[in-house]
Each structure stands twice: as structure tokens, then as C-alpha cells.
Amino acid sequence: MNNNSGENMKPVIFVENLTKVFGKFTAVNSISFEVNKGEIFGFLGANGAGKTTAMKMLCGLLKPTSGRGSVAGFDITREPERVKANIGYMSQRFSLYDDLRVWENFRLFGGIYGLKEREISQTTERMLHELGFTQERNTMVKSLPAGWKQKLAFSVAIIHNPGIVFLDEPTGGVDPKARRQFWELIYDAAERGITIFVTTHYMDEAEYCSRVSIMKDGAIDALDTPANLKLKYGAKSMDEVFYQLANSKR
Amino acid sequence: MFRFLLEKEFKQIARNRFLPKLILVYPVVMMILMPWAANLDVKDIRLCVVDNDNSTYSRRLTQKASGSEYFKEAIYLESYNEAISTIERGECDIILEIPSDFEKDLVNGVNRELSISSNAVDGMRGSIAASYLAGVVNDFSAELIESKIVNRGSSAAITAAMPSSIEIVSLSKYNPSMDYKLFMVPGLIVIIITIIGGFLPALNIVSEKEAGTIEQINVTPVRKITFIFSKLIPYWVIGFIILTNTLILAKLLYGIVPVGSIFEFYLLSFLFLIVVSGLGLVISNNSRTMQQAMFVMFFFMLVMILLSGLFTPVSSMPIWAQVINSINPMKYFTEIMRMVFLKGSGLADLYKHIFIMFGFAGAFSLWAVLSYRKNS
């Protein structure tokens, strides 16, 4: 893995005691961490552990109950719209426009992020080429297979070349071959300097990350490189690490 | 940024299987059918006659009533009780009872009273039918005087509740022939604009919530006002198409053209469109599901339409209803449409209404923008 454990790193995501309470339920309980530029940061945890809630706070979709955080140098509570201009986001649920063609989705989001007409068409061509989608330029998005939709959603999320991209279970419900292709896209983006913040339930994918955090009941229980975590828990794989953590304190 | 969003909205509407058809067909169907169906003219009244006299005069009177365009061929019955039971069975609307010795007393100059009993279950129809029948009796009495068959004293006695010496002639200004269609068509345009211009936006944003696409928008730096206006403008354009279509249909089908200026018609309709589409988006922004948006919109629409004066005059509503009505944009728009269509009121007469409509339009647009939340 292209480990970024060098010294010239600066945090692009900085979170301190971030908390979100819905009524009586504490979804995210005072989490603190940093993510460095260029990292592929794996954000793991069981269903309902609070991953999506935490991610939505970082993206400016949810207001934190308390605590603070900054993303790409902007405060998530005070300047959510400036955060938004500097990040890409791919939701757990496919959320591009089904009734628009592939190129029209590129055009729409390129336009929303303020790209010029020329930049939009150039970027669209490049991305269609990289995805191997040149034949599908005019296809309605609703008729694409699931794996293709995910790849398209990822490309649209980084059309404005953001500093950070947030991916919420990007490979959910996708076949193994398409998952591998998807991770190739992630690596390409990381090589171009985009910081990746990704949640997943696939532990083989966790192995691909620079560092991973494991969340449980709204709190972060472990945070380190996959190699160090395996060492610490005396496990052979990330799968085992995850099980041990999930079963602890019960 | 705005251009791209607007482009997307138009594409989505054009590609929808249902919307373009609805937008084109709905106003046409409404304009063709409703002026005939939603009609308050009272016709084909079923008259029941109890003739206790059975004389030449009594028959002349009943034939006169039967011959009127408002009444169907009369049914003749022996007794008042029989007649009442036909009303109870719903077979008759009104009873005319002629007393015995009616002719004899008329000739001898004795005052006689006729009895008119009408079914008031539908109060409006009942009272209109009774006044038509009274009119027939008045005419009959006038004929008798003219032909000097009876002397003045007794003829006055049979005129139902109205002295024959004073004749009331009412002239309906602005709609002299009391053509119900002329009254109804401007009101229909109000309804069509409200339904298309209000319901479609109400379903729009909430459908993006259900599809999940709104999240991808909310995570972009798009400005609220940009997003909301990209939603509103397509409905304004659609509204203009519909207004033009209804205007053409009103002319072709009923020969109805606004007496006032076309410019006023478009200006004020446009303001009203801004109001209803803004209301629609406010509801959409505050709803979680399309079902919820639909029901809330329906609730407001129904209240607004019933209070608007489209069907019953605002002036005869109780004070509290009139007070509520002062914040009902539809009430103002209904007045405006009738003023423009029937009276031909100019800008000088309408300035108050224009001012109020501008106020509503600004308030609802602002509310639509403010009620849109990019985070929770």
C-alpha cells in the first residue's frame, strides 16, 4: 500500500469530541481523529455504529450536537457550504438522476460545482474514457447495471477535483469483479492527491486502506494502520480484528 | 450554475411519462366539460298541480306554468296529501294548489289565495323554483287585467305576495344574459392554474427526497435561492402555456374573451402562479413523503377554493370566514379574473389587487427559499 506515514503530512480532516444526539439516542459519542492529506482512511463499524451519521456531519449534511471539526480547512459547523465546495460525496444509496443520461449527470454536477462549459466537456470525455463508458454516454442512468452506477457515482463525486472524497459503503451490493474495479478507481484518485474517506463492511477492502478506524456504539474503539491493528489484536486478518472488537465489552 | 439546474428540471419534466400529457390534456378537459356540468341554472323543475277547481282559468294557469321553459310537463293529482308524498318520494320539486271556486271568485272579484309549496332540501333550487312559479302566476294575473276579464281588485289578490302595480325588472350588469358559463370560465381558469401550478411543485422536491437525489444536491455548494428558483421557473413557464391554452379554448368553445386587457390577464395570472407554486414548494420542503405532501396540499387547496368565492359569494359568508379570506390569495385572484373577464377593469381599478398579489408572490417565494434546508 502507498503508506503515507511520512512526516510532511497535515490533517485535512480534524475532528474533536464530535457528538450527535437524536432525541435520547446518541448516534455519535464524542469522537476525535485526524485524517492526513492523501490517505485512504477506512471508517469501519457494524451497522448502526454511527458511521453514516459521523460522515454526514463532516459533509455538512447534519449539524453536530456538540464538538467541532474541520474539513479541508473549513469549520463544519460555521462554514458548511465552504466545506461542500471542497469535497466530493457518494451516498450509501445511489443518488444520481435516473432520468438523466450519463453525460447529463456529469454536466449537471460539473455545472453546479461551477465548472466552465469547456471544462465540463473535457472532464466528461476523460472520465467516460477512464471508466470505459464511452459507449454509454447517452444511456439513461436508470438502465445501467448496479456496479456501473457505483463507478459513475464516484466519478461524478470527483468531477470538480475535490481535496477529499467521502464514500459511504460505495461497494455495497456489487459483485467482486466490480468491487475490484471500483478500488482501482479509488487508488487512481488517491494517486492524484485526493484524500479518500471510505466506509465499508468488506474487511478485504479494509486491508487496502492506509489507516482504519473501527466504530462501535457511536465511539471509535480502534484507530491505526491495518498492519498495526492485526499486530495489536494478534489477528491474521482484519476480519478477525473486527470480530474481536465487535464481541468485546459485552 | 443556475442554467444547468434549470436545464435539468425541464428535461425531467419533458421525460416524465405523465406530466406533459397532464399539462396539455387537463385544461382542455376542464374547459370542455366543466362549464356545462358545474352549472347553477335551475331548469327542468318538476311541477305537481292539485287543481281543486278544474275550471277554464285554473287550466289556463297550469298550462302556462307547464309551458314555461323552466318547468317540465306538470303532473296532476287529486289531493295535496298525494302531492306531498310525491315530494317525499323525490318525484316532484314544487306543488301548485288551486282552491275550489277559484274561477267563480275571480269573476266575482273575491280575493283568493293560491298555495305554492316547494321542496327546500336543496334550498337554492327550492327558492328559485318558487320564485319562478310566482312569476308565472304574476304573468297570468297581468294577462287577466289586460284582457279585462276580471276587475283589478281580484287580480291583485291572486298575484302571489307581490302587488301587481309595482313591477321589478332586474338587469344584470356585466353579464346581462346571466350566462352561467361567462361566470364560470374565469373561475375555471383559477382552478386549473391552482391545480397544475400548485400540485406539481408540491410533489417535486419531496420526490427528490424519496429518490435520494436531494442528498447529492445538498452536499454541493449550490445556493438555496438558486436551487429553489430552478424548481419554480419551469412551473411558471408551464403556467403560461396553460393560460394561453385556456384563453384560446374560452374563445373557441364559448366565444368568451376578457373584456379587460390581455396584458392584465397575464400579469395577474403570473403573480398568482408565483403564489401557488411557492406554496407548493413550501409544502414539499416540509414533507417527508409524496403522500404527505399530497394530502397537505389537498387540505389547503380545498379550503382556499371553497372560500374563494368561486362557488358561493364571499359577501354572504360570515364575518369570521371573510376575515380568514383576507389571507386567501385565491379569493383575490378569483375577483381579479372576474373583474378582468366580465367588467374589463383597468389597472386603475385593480391597483389594490395588484399590490396584494405582489405581496403574496414575494412572501411565498421567500418562504419557499427559507423552508428549503440543506442540512438537518
Q: In chain A, how long is the greatest CA-to-CA distance?
A: 57
Under the banding of pLDDT at 50, 70 and 90, the label for residue B25 is very high
Whether residue B4 and residue A62 make contact (CB cut-off 8 A), yes or no, is: no
Minimal CA separation from B206 to chain A, in Å: 14
Total of domains in chain A:
1
**Whole-angstrom Cα distance, residue B248 to residue B32?**
12
- CB-CB neighbors (< 8 A) of B11 in chain A: 99-100, 104
Q: What secondary structure does DSSP assign to B219-247, as a single string?
A: TS---HHHHHHHHHHHHHHHHHHHHHHHH
Q: What's the pLDDT score for residue B62? A: 86
Q: When comparing pLDDT for A136 and A249, which is higher? A: A136
Whether residue B220 and residue A113 make contact (CB cut-off 8 A), yes or no, is: yes
Strands A211-216 and A25-36: unpaired
- State the residue range of the domain holding A55: 11-97+147-154+164-247
> How many other CB atoms are there within 10 angstroms of residue B292's CB atom?
14
- CB-CB neighbors (< 8 A) of A150 in chain B: none
Contact B83, B52 (CB under 8 A): no
**Whole-angstrom Cα distance, residue B274 to residue B109?**
69
| Residue A55, domain member (yes or no) | yes
CB of A110 less than 8 A from some CB of B: yes
**Whole-angstrom Cα distance, residue B368 to residue B197?**
14
Per-residue pLDDT of B85-121, as tens digits, reads: 888 888 888 888 888 888 888 777 777 778 888 888 8
Question: Between the CA of residue B249 and those of B125, B145, B186, what are the distances in Å?
Answer: 30, 49, 12
Whether residue A59 and residue B219 make contact (CB cut-off 8 A), yes or no, is: yes
Where are chain B's structural domains? Answer: 13-38+177-371, 47-158
Nearest to B220 among A84, A98, A107 (CB): A84
- CB-CB neighbors (< 8 A) of B218 in chain A: 61
Angle (CA) B158 B164 B168, round 5°: 125
Would the pLDDT of B205 be above 90? yes
CB of A185 less than 8 A from some CB of B: no
Per-residue pLDDT of B315-324, as tens digits, reads: 888 999 999 9
Q: Which residues have a Cβ under 8 Å from the Cβ of B329 and sit 6 or more positions away?
A: B272, B275, B276, B304, B357, B360
Whether residue B376 and residue A62 make contact (CB cut-off 8 A), yes or no, is: yes
Among A165, A214, A158, residue whose Cα is nearest residue A58: A165
- CB-CB neighbors (< 8 A) of A85 in chain B: 221
3-state secondary structure of B345: coil
Q: What's the pLDDT score for residue B226? A: 95
Q: What grid cell was written down for B203?
A: 410533489
Nearest to B8 among A60, A82, A100 (CB): A100
| Residue A212, domain member (yes or no) | yes
Average pLDDT in the A147-172 region?
94
Average pLDDT in the B142-146 region?
75
Instruction: Compute the mean pLDDT over every residue in chain A, rounded to the nearest whole number.
Output: 91
CATH of the domain at A90: 3.40.50.300
Fold of B47-158: abc type-2 transporter like fold (3.40.1710)
CA torsion, points B255, B259, B262, B264, in degrees to nearest 10? -140
Q: In chain B, how long is the greatest CA-to-CA distance?
A: 96
| Residue A118, domain member (yes or no) | no
Establish how many alpha carbons lie within 13 A of residue B288's alpha carbon, considering only the half-sphere containing its beta carbon: 1
Among A158, A164, A159, A161, residue whose Cα is nearest residue A12: A164
- CB-CB neighbors (< 8 A) of A63 in chain B: 375-376
The size of the A-B interface in CB pairs under 8 A is: 76
